[in-house]
A and B are shown apart, each in its own frame.
Chain A
Amino acid sequence: MTPRIPDDLLTQCMHCGLCLPVCPTYALTGMEKSSPRGRIRLMKSVMEGALPVSHEFAEEMNFCLDCQACETACPAGVKYGELVESARVLVDENRPLTLKKFILRYIVSKRPVLKFVAGLLRVYQISGIEKGVLVLLRKLSSNLYARALLMPRISRRSARATLPETIESQGNSRGTVAVLTGCVMDVFYSDINVDTVEVLVRNNWKVVIPRKQVCCGSLSGHYGDSELPKRLARENIKVFEETGALYYVINSAGCGAFMKGYASLLSDDPEFSQKAARFSSKVLDFSEFLFKTGYEIPQRAIGKKTVYHEACHLVHSQKVSKEPNAIVSQLAGTNICELNESTWCCGSAGIYNIVRYEDAAKLLERKMENIIASGAEIVITGNPGCLAQIDAGIKQRGLPLKVVHPATVLNRLYKSEEI
């Protein structure tokens, strides 16, 4: 079946242009075709047969960060995220295998391969080769050097390998929750997974980390793969259902957004549609979960100036904003600062910062300027992509700043550790 972009979704856009000011790619170029409204018009033309799935069309769909800021801004309720994702499916079907497709299809979504690649990278990082390469790159090309900085440290061991499958709650159990360890999260930030689990356990939850869980499917989904994400979704639904958990707590905004969307992803699947709806209704972001169920407030507050950067997949896709903001304000107390344009994309956007490095770098520049202007010493954000991107920004500029996940902050405060 040839993929289609639903006509009803396209017609919903009444081209008022109110989404233009929030669109980072429109801000970069000032060109209508790089705006949400322009992209929707292009999609409509493709569906009407007035435009082929051209190279320029494909470029535009991939230039879009899928940050969904336009969806938040749109008074008409246009589901832009769904539109661009179906447009990418269309593009994908019309394109040969690209590097991006290769990474997503054959590395990220296959755990053994990902583990193997991560192993190689770790050897590269700890053996001193990386240091040498960085010194060399710094001399040869500032551009390549900056790119190399994007690579976060590979965690020593994945949380899934170190933590048991079931961890009992600290006090009287309030129930069972299941945790997704995530692909990127567990390779680069397994500590955050450990922090997440420890925070949950401390708040009297019994935690299950299903061994058989697979990649949530978001990375390949956002880049236009149509079948793979569905397969992964079915797998996860089965695995998580078996845990009997009350909630599925997700500490990566991108994964959470995608898993909340399993319901619509599988709505046409006769066997899975109901299960998917039930599954999605149990998915909560880490901060959303804590806000909803209540949590122990640590004795001490964050001792440094703190800002909160709102990850696109949390604020725009999941519409989760008040919860993490409330938590971060509570943890920082009087040290909370205002971050200008806190909901503006940092340029990470999945693997956008790798495949479209230059554009991402400009967005990062804007983000870093705002962070610096806020006077913050700590940046808190709930998505691994943002963590890596902002961390690279900090390193490039040699700033005395730290970027951390809320789970890490909370766990360290519980343990009275330095942040």
Chain B
Amino acid sequence: MITEALKKKLKEIFGESNFLDSPEHRIAYSYDGTALLGALPDAILIPTNVEQLSRLMKLANEERFAVIPRGSGTGLSGGSIPSENSVIILMNKWDKIIQIDPDNLTAWVEPGVITGRFQSQVESMKFFYPPDPGSSQICTIGGNVAENAGGLRGLKYGVTKNYVLGFEAVMPNGDVMHIGGKNTKDVAGYNLKDVLVGSEGTLCVFTKILLKLIPIPSASKTFLAFYDSIGRAAETVSAIISARIMPAMLEFLDNPTIRAVEDFSHLGMDKNSGAVLLIEVDGPRAVVDEDASAIAQICKSAGAVTVRAATDNAEAARLKAARKSAFAALARIRPTTILEDVTVPRSEVPVMVDFINETAKKHAVQIGTFGHAGDGNLHPTGLTDERDKKEIEKVKEVFRKLFAKAVELGGTITGEHGVGLAKKAFLEELYDSPYIELLKTTKRMLDPNLILNPGKIISVEPRCEGALPRSREQIEKATRNMDNPSEAYF
């Protein structure tokens, strides 16, 4: 617990009105987008400048409390969920687009800028910022950089890290550090930028971010291809890739997901389809036309029942918005949706999809699958009800098998959502120990007192660990259970 004396010090740094600890505020910052996880912070702080953050880190090291950065709380691995003895810092209030530099194709932004807002701002100037997570309407750039978020355009354009040129960050010891710059080439020193991007709020707090922009593609075309069976859709994905065509988007929804999305968005999709692919090609007009007809042809020969092209930009936007609602729409079927994030090499997508469905059937659990098929990133989503503990156990069991299978196929347990709390048990279970040790060493080196978002990704010390202990007693129990990681999960 944060003592009265500490409270006073925090109020001195942040000001009375930027220190919040009413039960209502604490409850409102006890969760993110992840199912089943939650814990209360001791207080919430609204920083207004970098100095405050720097002083906060120093104080945290002295007094040993945890600091949890938070963007919009859409994370799906529990990244911004408080640990025991922690304060939340609200970065969503830092929401200025500082500079868009047309000459160098770059933009400086504050970390709380909403991704979608940034995208439309640069698009109105004929620039393009491709990273496009499904949550773009509300997630923050800071959260995206911290999670190295992917999204719908990952296949052709890469993920967030490919667009981060540099940043200003507050380090766990309170130092303010600058890294990178507007140079397109820069090899001065180790590539630590890529260590910090995707560090899930555990190694530094981003306070200013320099992003790369590219010219906006002059044309694009969006399709929906409907299939009787998932298998044929998966084959289409392989066929498109092996035909040396690189769509901007190659997204996939299975039957339960189609039903749920259709109920929300009323696009007129056939609810009996086994699967649908959402495909977009972009680039110069001539290339787009050529790729588009080739893709339509491939879809048909792979057995698509119908291929439907968006008639205009508005319809294309509606299709993409509907795809982005897939995860939340699945909650129409069962209230608790446990979303996973396995990724396999593209060629293994059909194998993985089959495995997901067989395993779900065998264990009699409901799973809806959608995802970024083009880059092998699938989101099998357990449809369940958190109030049914038995069923939750079954779902957990199925996911364990899916993770193992993904790794066996040469894939990974998270393609874009991060490890956070939700998957740290599996990280240690499935990867080799030198890698795990290197992760731990890195964390210890930068944050020896484990004050910045502790207990996420890797278990460095038995502190703030496990299934989000709320009381001393629970902490002790969780610590004892560290040998059995499955106990620590959920």
Give every chain B residue within 8 A of A50 (Cβ-Cβ): 27
| CA–CA, A75 and B370, complex, Å | 15
Closest B residue to A7 using CB positions: B387
* Contact yes or no, B28 A33, CB < 8 A: yes
* Contact yes or no, B335 A11, CB < 8 A: yes
Interface centre among B73, B261, B330, B387 (most CB of A within 10 A): B73
* Contact yes or no, B138 A17, CB < 8 A: yes
Cβ distance A33 to chain B, nearest Cβ, rounded Å: 4
- How many A-B pairs have beta carbons closer than 8 Å: the answer is 100
**Which residue of the partner chain, among B73, B260, B328, B386, contacts A32 with CB atoms under 8 Å?**
B73
Interface centre among A30, A41, A76 (most CB of B within 10 A): A76
Residues of chain A from 1 to 51 with CB closer than 8 A to chain B in the complex:
8, 11-18, 20-21, 30-33, 35, 38, 41-42, 45, 50-51
| CA–CA, A8 and B22, complex, Å | 27
Please encode chain A, from 76 to 111, with 1 for each CB lying within 8 Å of some chain B CB and 0 for all others.
Answer: 110000000000000000000000000000000000
Give every chain B residue within 8 A of A35 (Cβ-Cβ): 28
Say yes or no: A16-B33 contact (C-beta < 8 A), given A51-B27, A75-B325. yes
| CA–CA, A400 and B284, complex, Å | 46
B29 part of interface (Cβ distance < 8 Å): yes
* Contact yes or no, B28 A17, CB < 8 A: no
* Contact yes or no, A74 B24, CB < 8 A: no
Say yes or no: A33-B31 contact (C-beta < 8 A), given A11-B385, A75-B328. no
| CA–CA, A137 and B471, complex, Å | 57
* Contact yes or no, B27 A41, CB < 8 A: yes
Residues of chain B from 292 to 334 with CB closer than 8 A to chain A in the complex:
325-332
Number of interface residues of B (CB under 8 A): 43
* B-binding segment of A52-60, A167-175, A205-213, A337-345: A52-60
Give every chain A residue within 8 A of B24 (Cβ-Cβ): 33, 42, 51, 54, 56-57, 60
Say yes or no: A38-B114 contact (C-beta < 8 A), given A11-B336, A21-B137, A54-B23. no
| CA–CA, A77 and B330, complex, Å | 10
Closest B residue to A57 using CB positions: B24
Give every chain A residue within 8 A of B137 (Cβ-Cβ): 18, 21
| CA–CA, A20 and B95, complex, Å | 15
Say yes or no: A16-B135 contact (C-beta < 8 A), given A30-B93, A75-B329. yes
| CA–CA, A20 and B28, complex, Å | 13
Cβ distance A4 to chain B, nearest Cβ, rounded Å: 16
Closest B residue to A59 using CB positions: B24
Give every chain A residue within 8 A of B453 (Cβ-Cβ): none
Say yes or no: A56-B138 contact (C-beta < 8 A), given A33-B28, A41-B28, A41-B30. no
* Contact yes or no, A15 B31, CB < 8 A: yes
Closest A residue to B70 using CB positions: A32
Give every chain A residue within 8 A of B28 (Cβ-Cβ): 31-33, 35, 38, 41-42
Say yes or no: A75-B135 contact (C-beta < 8 A), given A17-B72, A18-B325, A42-B27. no
| CA–CA, A20 and B265, complex, Å | 18
Cβ distance B131 to chain A, nearest Cβ, rounded Å: 18
Interface centre among A11, A14, A18, A51 (most CB of B within 10 A): A14
| CA–CA, A316 and B74, complex, Å | 24
Residues of chain A from 207 to 238 with CB closer than 8 A to chain B in the complex:
none
Give every chain A residue within 8 A of B325 (Cβ-Cβ): 18, 75
Give every chain A residue within 8 A of B400 (Cβ-Cβ): none
| CA–CA, A76 and B387, complex, Å | 18
Give every chain A residue within 8 A of B265 (Cβ-Cβ): 75
Closest A residue to B336 using CB positions: A14
| CA–CA, A13 and B325, complex, Å | 14
Give every chain B residue within 8 A of A14 (Cβ-Cβ): 33, 35, 328, 331, 335-337
* Contact yes or no, B73 A17, CB < 8 A: yes
**Which residue of the partner chain, among A11, A12, A18, contacts B138 with CB atoms under 8 Å?**
A18
* Contact yes or no, B72 A51, CB < 8 A: no
Nearest 9 A-B pairs (CB), nearest first?
Answer: A76-B331, A75-B325, A75-B328, A33-B28, A32-B28, A75-B329, A38-B28, A16-B328, A11-B335
